[in-house]
Amino acid sequence: MSWLELITRISTNNYLEVERILKSHPYVRDAAKRLRERKMAVIENLDDYVKATMESVSRIGGHAYLAKDKQEAREIVSKILGDKKLVVMSKTNAAYEVNLREFLISQGKEVWETDLGEFLVQITNGWPSHIIVPAVDMNRERAAKAIKAIDPGISENASIEELVAAVRRFLMSKYINADAGITGANAVAADTGAVILVENEGNIRMVTVKPQVHIALAGIDKIVPTLADAFDEAMVQAAYAGLYPPTYVNLTAGPSSTADIEHTRVSPATGPKEFHLVLIDDGRLEASKDPVLKEALLCIRCGRCYFSCPTYRLLGKDWISTKSPYNGPMGVMWNYITNDDPWPSFYCTHSGGCREVCPMGINIPDIISYIKGKGTKQV
Amino acid sequence: MVDESSIKGTLKLIRDVVYKNLTNEYLPFPMDKALATKWAYEAGVPKGGRVILYTSYMYQMAPVFKSFEKLLPTVGSLARIGFLASLGSRLVKPSDAEVKRASTVLKNIYAITRASRPGVGYLYEEEPYSGALLYELGFIDEFKEYGKRLEEFFKIRGVEEIITADPHTTFSLANYKRLIGFSIPFKNYLELPPIGVTGKGRFVIHDSCIYSRFLNMYDLIRQLTKDAGLEIVDDEKVTGRGIGFCCGGPLGPLNSKISDEMAKARANSLKSVNPEALVFCPLCYENLSPYIPVKDFAEVISP
Ligand code: SF4
């Protein structure tokens, strides 16, 4: 099956599935509307919310950092890790954005992606094709070939279930022995310092709980005012990604703790003894002050606009390629915000489908048009 | 990966040649105006007037706009040696069959317009280009500048209402209104009462992205076609508002290969719904017609 046939099938299925979800759970649309307002309030006062979030994280016994750019983010994580060797990661675009995995590997660490799709991308030295389904361009045959490299016992004719089980076996030993777990964040609540993560595989549970150190990486655009908003974001993101209900929603607010003896809260308990939140600016603060670009910061990374986009459906990951983990219409905006690169915008045909399907009602075509305008000024 | 240097080259040509030509001549490049206005002479459309039908040469020159990418380097090199103005009609010329087809379409659009705007006129050789290309390629400041000149141009000629014939021109005026407060009222011909419009045939609609998702005409177009007696086959997976696909046209000036692939992909999905497609835009027609039988709404109806 060609890329175009595959992505057309996936796109139409996703479109219809999200429509079905929204019809059967109308409260999701209400939550999306509410969330847009709450996120906009943060964007309008991003500096203050960053400060409040960092204070909240400290209050719950965690450590918070603000990285102004990619290099600073890498350095902060590297310092936290020190001489820890084995690192497990859950799918995080922020880590891709700052090129963290490659950097840690170059420092001699053993680093494993644990999301199945991301794991396949890693072991094939590939690049994610989609923010929610990174290995969307990989069929069973190619996956089997790739997995055989880490599990020679696997036949190239193995079923999808057998392939998943092989990866599970392989990663289990990594979870058990990992020194640190690195995740992203779907939302970070400013009032509590809590991080919310949505998933289906269960790998994030392992990554956030099993190693003794949990590092969460998040763009400052992921900050929402309260924990209630963070749960809204989890719900809306999962629904618009077409995976509803999500199998798991994880909440992490500081290191593990217990108050079982004399009702005195002590830390750590069973889970990690350290919790670190690395907030990443990387162009976001500047974008929040731009009257047009700021709307792009509302994006909750549901990935739905990819499927509505003719250019993405034709070019796939080649559109923005390894310049950025973000692709499709949102990728045009985010590649500009984080890399100051306007050129992919010129392949946008202004079909307008992205705006129709975006849960945050982002006027994506207008923003892309604005980015094109930035490009024309450079010729 | 996007071809950055080719994009930059094209943009430079647009700015240095097309924008300059627009500023001087109100046209992106020299055109054969006799061919472009022939339909109006044949239909006996009054010259000028308070209400005008504004074609912006889109139907007449669609075949040329489609091959813009191939055309640009030639236009650019001729402009560099100061030869552009003398180029006249030789370079930019649609075929006889294309001229004939555009003529049928425009005469029908004129008839629909005249039914509710008796006395509607046309600017003939004076008609300016809308500037759509500037907006679509990101020359927003230049687009705004051009829009101000355009408004002035129409006002000097006493134009009080503009009826547009295609989505790109309509969208340009809508953008001028939004960006610079363009004050002359305008309407697309599809928004006029379809007095006596009838037609026949069974089609799958290929929506113009601009009409359906930017000008909110998705439902109106379906209603209009059904009221005219056309049989429309819709399939949510192919023609749904949020999943509709572009014909590839806007990419033409920058990358004709991707533009063609997009057209082909769109045509194939349309074919899975119905063998023949119905379009509402001259650029959609140009892009899709090599891959699927296509008709423009204005050529399957009789007003
Ligand atoms: S821009 Fe909108 S549709 Fe696209 S990923 Fe972000 S929230 Fe989802």
Are B117 and B172 part of one and the same domain? yes
Cα angle, residue B269 at apex, residues B266 and B273 outer, rounded to 5°: 130
Round to whole Å and give the CA distance between A14 and A240.
9
Query: Which residue intervals of chain A bear CATH 3.40.50.10420?
Result: 24-284
> pLDDT value at position A43?
98
> pLDDT value at position B91?
57
The string of pLDDT tens digits covering residues A205-264 is 999 999 999 999 999 999 999 999 999 999 999 999 999 999 999 999 999 999 999 999
Run of H or E residues at A252 = strand A248-252
Q: How far is CA A150 from CA A112, A124, A143, A375, B199, in A?
A: 12, 11, 11, 44, 64
By alpha-carbon position, which residue is closest to atom 2 of ligand 1? A358
Q: With contacts defined as CB-CB under 8 Å, which chain B residues touch A312?
A: none
Round to whole Å and give the CA distance between A254 and A64.
10
Which long-range contacts link A96-99 to residues 24+ away (Cβ below 8 Å)?
Answer: A96/A128, A96/A324, A96/A325, A97/A70, A97/A219, A97/A280, A97/A282, A97/A324, A97/A325, A97/A326, A97/A338, A98/A67, A98/A70, A98/A71, A98/A73, A98/A74, A98/A217, A98/A280, A98/A282, A99/A70, A99/A74
Instruction: Please identify, among B141, B165, B191, the residue that sits at the C-terminal boundary of a domain.
Output: B191
Predicted TM-score (pTM) of the model is 0.94
CATH code for residues A24-284:
3.40.50.10420
Are B178 and B217 part of one and the same domain? no
> pLDDT value at position A158?
94
CA-atom Rg of chain B in angstroms: 19
Conformational region of residue A144, where left means phi above 0, alpha means psi within -120 to 50, and beta covers everything else? alpha
Residue in B closest to A353 by C-alpha: B242
Round to whole Å and give the CA distance between B190 and B196.
13
**What percent of chain B stands above pLDDT 90?**
73
Task: Name the residue of A304, A324, A355, A371 to mutate for ligand 1: max ligand atoms within 8 A of Cβ.
Answer: A304
> pLDDT value at position B90?
56
Mean residue pLDDT of chain A comes to 96
ipTM of predicted complex:
0.93
Q: Which superfamily does A290-378 belong to?
A: Alpha-helical ferredoxin (1.10.1060.10)
Q: How far is CA A206 from CA A74, A114, A277, B5, in A?
A: 23, 9, 18, 46
Question: What mean pLDDT is predicted for residues A159-166?
Answer: 96
The string of pLDDT tens digits covering residues A34-50 is 999 999 999 999 999 99
| Contact A355/B at CB under 8 A | yes
Are B151 and B94 part of one and the same domain? yes
Residue from the list B2, B241, B266 with its beta carbon closest to the beta carbon of A344: B2
Residue in A closest to B16 by C-alpha: A379
Question: What mean pLDDT is predicted for residues A167-183?
Answer: 97
> pLDDT value at position B18?
87
The string of pLDDT tens digits covering residues A112-129 is 999 999 999 999 999 888
Ligand 1, CB cutoff 6 Å, lining residues: A 299-305, 329-330, 357-360, 362, 364
Both tokens of residue A343?
A: 């050129």
The string of pLDDT tens digits covering residues A264-295 is 999 999 999 999 999 999 999 999 999 999 99
Which residue blocks in chain B are alpha helix, DSSP H? 4-13, 19-25, 33-43, 58-66, 68-80, 96-116, 132-136, 140-156, 167-180, 209, 218-227, 236-239, 256-271, 282-288, 297-300
Q: With contacts defined as CB-CB under 8 Å, which chain B residues touch A346?
A: 2, 7, 11, 137-138, 254
> pLDDT value at position B195?
85
Are B222 and B289 part of one and the same domain? yes
For residue B245, the enclosing domain spans: 198-302
Query: Which residue intervals of chain A bear CATH 1.10.1060.10?
Result: 290-378
Run of H or E residues at A286 = helix A284-288
State the pLDDT confidence band at B32, using cuts at 50, 70 and 90: confident
State the pLDDT confidence band at B256, using cuts at 50, 70 and 90: confident
By alpha-carbon position, which residue is closest to atom 4 of ligand 1? A305
> Quick check: A23 pLDDT over 70?
yes
Both tokens of residue B281?
A: 């835009």
Residue B94, φ and ψ in degrees, nearest 5: -75, 165
